Amino acid sequence: MRNAIARKTTLAFTAAALAIGGLSTAAFAQRDPAYAAARAAGQVGEKMDGYLGVVGAANPSLQRLVTDINIKRRAVYADRAQATNSTIEEYAFTAGCQAIAKTVPGEKYQAPDGAWKTRTSAPPDRDPRCP
Amino acid sequence: MTSSGKWAVGALGPLALAGCINVNAPTEPIVIELNINIRQEVIYRLAEDAGNTIEDNADIF
């Protein structure tokens, strides 16, 4: 009897732990390893318009990765633009300001003149309208 | 006293002439940056929301 209760409790805890684990992975989903590697290698960079761009020579798998992420970003921008009563372009540009600010040294970003730059420990070179 | 005053007036003459502003028309066409349709005040209004969106969608940012 006691053993049965103990087993049930253990099962409940396991279920709860799995549920919490599942929730946290959904809320804090991390980058796909291929995307993380491409960022770190400087093969992709953050553009001013809020989307990801291919830096240098593109190959089909890299292009697919970038297109896939940009489609997902656009869906999120469209949703938030509607919620904040703004246009997709305005929301995307603002997100671009923030995404460039969040790059880490070694990653690529697009400077106001359109050229790709490598992020250093210094603040990135952003559009003067960025907050 | 009087002579020094005269000197001062004499010295100011050329300065007053130099104060004329000459405006020369540019020879090259004036280029207006057209990417101004996204206004800074809009960006500032959206900044916090956009920052949260990036954190909530860390897999695609």
Residue of A90, A100, A109 to mutate, testing the B interface (most B Cβ within 10 Å of its Cβ):
A90
pLDDT digits (tens, 9 = 90+) for A66-93: 999 999 999 999 999 999 999 999 999 9
- pLDDT tens, position by position, B45-55: 999 999 999 99
Quick one: pLDDT at residue A73?
98
Rg of chain A taking only CA atoms, in angstroms:
20
Instruction: Write out pLDDT tens, residues A99-130.
Output: 999 999 999 999 999 999 999 999 999 999 99
Q: Decide if A131 and B53 are in contact by the 8 Å CB cutoff.
A: no
pLDDT at A25 over 50: no
Within 8 A of B57 by CB-CB distance, chain A residues are 29, 72-73, 76
Pair (A40, A72) in one structural domain: yes
A25-29, A53-57, A123-127, B24-28: range with lowest mean pLDDT: A25-29
Mean pLDDT, rounded, for A56-65: 94
If asked whether residues A63 and A7 sit together in one domain, one would say no
Domain containing residue A6: 1-30
Q: Which two tokens stand for residue A126?
A: 């952003």
Q: How far apart are CA A113 and CA A115, in angstroms?
A: 6
Instruction: Decide if the complex's ipTM is over 0.95.
Output: no
Query: How many domains would you assign to chain A?
Result: 2
Return the higher-pLDDT residue of A42 and B8: A42
* Mean pLDDT over each residue of chain A, to the nearest integer: 86
Helix B40-56 vs helix A88-101: angle between axes, to the nearest 10 degrees? 70
Report pLDDT for A24: 47
Q: Would you give the DSSP letter of residue A32?
A: P
pLDDT of A59: 93
Residues in B whose CB is inside 8 Å of some CB of A read 38-40, 42-47, 49-51, 53-54, 56-61
A42 in the same domain as A18: no
Whole-number pLDDT of residue B18: 63
Closest CA in chain A for residue B51: A98
- Do A10 and A62 reside in the same domain of the chain? no
Q: Are both A74 and A116 inside the same structural domain?
A: yes
- A80 and A25 part of one domain: no
